[in-house]
Amino acid sequence: MKHFATLTVIGRDKTGVIARVTSFLFEQKANIEGLEEQVTRGQFSMTLQASWRGRDLHREAVVAGLAALATALAMEIKIRFTEPHRRQRMAIFVTRETHCLEAILAACKARQLARAEPVLILSNHTDLEPIARRHRVPFAHVPWVERVPAETQALQLLEEHEADFVVLARFMKILSPNFVWRYKNKIINIHPSLLPSFPGAQAYRQAYEHGVKIAGVTAHFVSMHLDEGPIIAQGSFNILPGASLPEITAAGQRLEARVLLRAIKLFLAKRLDVYWGTVKQV
């Protein structure tokens, strides 16, 4: 039986970080399954996938060694052990809109998302707490007045609940690169337009004002750039002549829930591979 883990390394860029981390893992009999790193404005970020055969993994030694290495490098090093066949622990971020959250929780209850387990609902408002309580999912209110402390609190909650991936179910806050890199290609968002058209918060209004005849929604992985992440799934609907903005919005919201669920199912089925910023189904 193989054991798997994801490592994230974040801090000020310096020479030898990759070599130090991979050498330590080699000493711990790990196999490097994948590695991706980048440097942005002097900030080094790396995500690494590692695996061990059977009894080769000594978790306590790995965790302690990485903690010592983090101190020596003056960087943050996090490791999350994951078992490939267990249910994926899902955190759902919401604001005030209910349609996507309700659809996800209903799908979980109906075993349509049997490979996922909702472990946390996080919101910058308290409006949707009754829904979380009704479905017996832990709810956390993070006001999000200032982004840095809010993201710090959110990351702590994700770690406490051992979340494997995050779904932004109409969460109306922008996540920083510092947050996104910790869950690279593990944060799924639903956007109310056929990206790359109409990015930003007022997509339905833009579609209405431009008089488009076909509108739609896009589920995508969140990247460092707003509404530019790798696209997972899309759906469209026709705009009838004379349709009002509320009618367009209502049609879009109905579609949002369906496309978001489709994207989550593809993610859980491990049928997605991101290559040079493009999602490939495998």
The catalytic site residues sit at 227
Sequential DSSP letters for 31-85? EEEEEEEEEETTEEEEEEEEEEEGGG--HHHHHHHHHHHHHHHTSEEEEEEE-TT
Selection from 269, 271, 180, 268 nearest residue 229 by Cα: 180
- Structure tokens belonging to residue 227: 């509404």
- Judge whether 86 and 95 are in contact, CB under 8 Å: no
CA distance 159 to 282: 29
Selection from 152, 147, 130, 151 nearest residue 139 by Cα: 130
Residues 6+ apart with CB under 8 A from 163: 89, 90, 91, 119, 120
Q: Beta strands 214-221 and 187-191: pairing type?
A: antiparallel
- Judge whether 5 and 39 are in contact, CB under 8 Å: no
Element (H or E) spanning 224, and its range?
A: none
Coil/strand/helix, residue 118: strand
Q: Would residue 227 be called left, alpha or beta, if left means φ above 0 and alpha means ψ between -120 and 50 degrees?
A: left
φ, ψ of residue 96 to 5 degrees: the values are -125, -20
